[in-house]
């Protein structure tokens, strides 16, 4: 993973690029929300929720459930998980937590590269659907690149799942530009709906080539670790806190608003704390 820590001055400058007036809702008007549109025209809120450690005892289960459902109620409806998070525990936790709310959420899960051979993708998808207690995924991702020579077969398997209605769309994760170009060269490869990669105020590597490449092709980027994995240099940064104070928002909310500022990035912060989730949801309407 490329990391480009910013100097203190450059970090403050980057964050200050958000120092524009908050879109103030006129009386009775809902505040404008950051959204992102997939190539098939489906629009989702630009701040979702990650779940790498959820359902695994980091917080009390009731707090994590309340956090996830609070986030959904506040508009953070894109829920990201993976078959290997807690060996399925994260998917199981989400399946239970969103029961009865399936139509309110946009469920994203991932297949591991080592499960892509033969009928592996269909098998992994069936298992994820079972753990998530649903009969379709909104988005199914390849968690990490496989060899370029396997792209054609992986795309064909994803397309079979899409045509059967088990998944609505598919995408990739941790692909660089060279791999995206190779993907777009195989039949159906340009149906890729997203690339999920690391992006935050302290890791801006994708701005060099991957983000412009995806934006030019209208392929949304999903930003993982948008709070730099809770790094206090982001979530407790005094410059961000100062910018947030003027908006009644936390440093974390400003950091998330910065990640989604361009209109083609969905941030998926993880939190098992209802209070943190409320802070994070504020980023949806910070401009
Ligand atoms: N595709 C991939 O290869 C990949 C890799 C990594 C992650 N991901 C996905 O991206 C999601 C997010 O990434 P991440 O978990 O690495 O990092 P992150 O979302 O940047 O940070 C999560 C950490 O920040 C804390 N936090 C959240 N909101 C906060 C707030 N308002 N104030 C202070 N602290 C706050 C959380 O603690 P609390 O729980 O206490 O709030 C947690 O420790 C993962 O859950 C996963 O779904 C994907």
Task: Give residue 16's pLDDT.
Answer: 55
Task: Give residue 245's pLDDT.
Answer: 96
Residue range 78-103: mean pLDDT, rounded:
98
Of all protein residues, whose CA lies closest to atom 25 belonging to ligand 1? 230
State pLDDT tens for residues 240-258. 999 999 999 999 999 999 9
Q: What separation in Å is there between the alpha carbon of 216 and the centre of ligand 1?
A: 28
Task: Give residue 242's pLDDT.
Answer: 97
Our answer on whether the CB atom of 258 is closer than 6 Å to any ligand 1 atom is no
Residue range 1-20: mean pLDDT, rounded:
47
- Intra-chain end-to-end CA distance of the chain, in Å: 29
Our answer on whether the CB atom of 221 is closer than 6 Å to any ligand 1 atom is no
Our answer on whether the CB atom of 274 is closer than 6 Å to any ligand 1 atom is no
Our answer on whether the CB atom of 280 is closer than 6 Å to any ligand 1 atom is yes
Task: Give residue 4's pLDDT.
Answer: 40
Task: Give residue 28's pLDDT.
Answer: 74
Our answer on whether the CB atom of 276 is closer than 6 Å to any ligand 1 atom is yes
Our answer on whether the CB atom of 224 is closer than 6 Å to any ligand 1 atom is yes
Q: CB-based contacts of 22: which residues, under 8 Å, 6+ apart?
A: 247, 285, 286, 287
Under DSSP, is residue 80 helix (H, G, I), strand (E, B) or coil? Answer: strand
State pLDDT tens for residues 172-223. 999 999 999 999 999 999 999 999 999 999 999 999 999 999 999 999 999 9
Q: Taking the CB of residue 50, how many other CB atoms lie within 10 A of it?
A: 25
Task: Give residue 3's pLDDT.
Answer: 38
Query: Looking at per-residue confidence, does 14 or 44 come out higher?
Result: 44
In the predicted structure, residue 99 carries a pLDDT above the cut 70: yes
Of all protein residues, whose CA lies closest to atom 8 belonging to ligand 1? 224
Task: Give residue 1's pLDDT.
Answer: 33
CA distances from 207 to 129, 176, 210, 227 (A): 34, 12, 6, 17
CA distance 80 to 55: 13
Instruction: For the full predicted model, state whether its pTM sits above 0.75.
Output: yes
In the predicted structure, residue 233 carries a pLDDT above the cut 60: yes
The domains located in the chain, with CATH, are 42-285 (3.20.20.100)
Give the chain's mean pLDDT: 93
């Amino acid at each position: 993973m490329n990391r480009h820590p910013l100097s203190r001055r450059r970090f403050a400058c980057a964050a200050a690029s958000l120092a524009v007036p908050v879109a103030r809702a006129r009386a009775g008007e809902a505040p404008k929300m950051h959204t992102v549109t997939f190539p098939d025209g489906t629009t989702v809120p630009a701040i979702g929720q990650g779940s790498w450690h959820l359902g695994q005892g980091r917080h009390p289960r009731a707090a994590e459930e309340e956090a996830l459902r609070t986030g959904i109620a506040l508009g953070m409806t894109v829920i990201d998980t993976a078959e290997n998070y807690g060996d399925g525990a994260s998917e199981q936790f989400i399946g239970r937590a969103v029961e009865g709310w399936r139509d309110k959420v946009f469920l994203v899960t991932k297949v591991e590269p080592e499960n892509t051979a033969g009928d592996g993708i269909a098998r992994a998808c069936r298992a994820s659907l079972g753990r998530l207690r649903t009969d379709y995924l909104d988005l199914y991702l390849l968690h990490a690149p496989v060899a370029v020579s396997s792209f054609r077969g992986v795309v064909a398997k994803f397309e079979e799942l899409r045509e059967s209605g088990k998944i609505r769309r598919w995408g990739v994760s941790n692909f660089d530009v060279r791999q995206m170009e190779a993907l777009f060269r195989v039949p159906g490869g340009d149906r890729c709906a997203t690339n999920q990669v690391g992006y935050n105020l302290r890791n801006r590597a994708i701005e060099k080539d991957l983000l412009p490449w995806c934006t030019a092709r209208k392929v949304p980027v999903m930003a993982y670790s948008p709070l730099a994995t809770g790094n206090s240099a982001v979530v407790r940064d005094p410059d961000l806190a100062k910018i947030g104070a003027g908006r009644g928002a936390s440093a974390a909310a400003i950091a998330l608003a910065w990640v989604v500022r361009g209109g083609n990035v969905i941030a998926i912060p993880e939190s098992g704390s209802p209070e943190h989730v409320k802070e994070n949801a504020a980023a949806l309407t910070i401009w």
